[in-house]
Amino acid sequence: MILLDQRLESSLESVDHSEERAVALAQESGFSEEETYRLGYAVREALVNAVVHGNRYSANKVVHFKVIRTSRAIEVVIEDQGSGFSTDMQGDPLAQENLMNQSGRGLALIRAFTDEMQVERTTPGGTRVILRKFLPPQAG
């Protein structure tokens, strides 16, 4: 079931608003306070990546934001219209030599706070990130 399907402006205001929507949908789906926080955190990081690194705040580009509830999970799809990136090129932010880098931790945190994460290149250009968080047993 599609809970939300929106095209967002490439702005931090969009990020704030959409994070709030994702948090509300997670609460409605029966997630605990802590799991709701974790999903909201992952959604925010993925949206910031799309707006800042993908679309580079361009007024001509949108972020496609979709929240789906399946029988086993909440699935969040975030797609930008940027030039894409490779997760391999990011460097491991948890490696000793990278610990003092100012940036590059977003994907590691998304991975830690969700049950599944997929990153795909899209055509003609862009990145699609799919996050899944399994529903608590009683909500499944």
Partner 1 sequence: MSVKLITRQVGDVTVIDAVGRITLGEGSSTFREIVKDLVNKGNKKILLNLAEVSYIDSSGIGELVSGFTSVSNAGGSLKLLKLTKRIQDLLQITKLYTVFEVFDDEAKALASF
User: For residues 49 and 79, is the Cβ–Cβ distance under 8 A?
Assistant: no
The answer to whether 139 contacts partner 1 (rule: CB under 8 A) is no
The answer to whether 105 contacts partner 1 (rule: CB under 8 A) is yes
15, containing H or E segment = helix 12-28
Q: How far is the C-alpha of 19 from the C-alpha of 121, rounded, in Å?
A: 23
Segment interacting with partner 1 (CB under 8 A) among 24-32, 72-80, 83-91, 104-112:
104-112
Of 106, 126, 130, 135, the one binding partner 1 by CB under 8 A: 106
What does the block give as tokens for 19? 């994070």
Contacts to partner 1 by CB under 8 A: 12, 37, 41, 44-45, 48, 52, 93-94, 99-103, 105-106, 108-109, 112
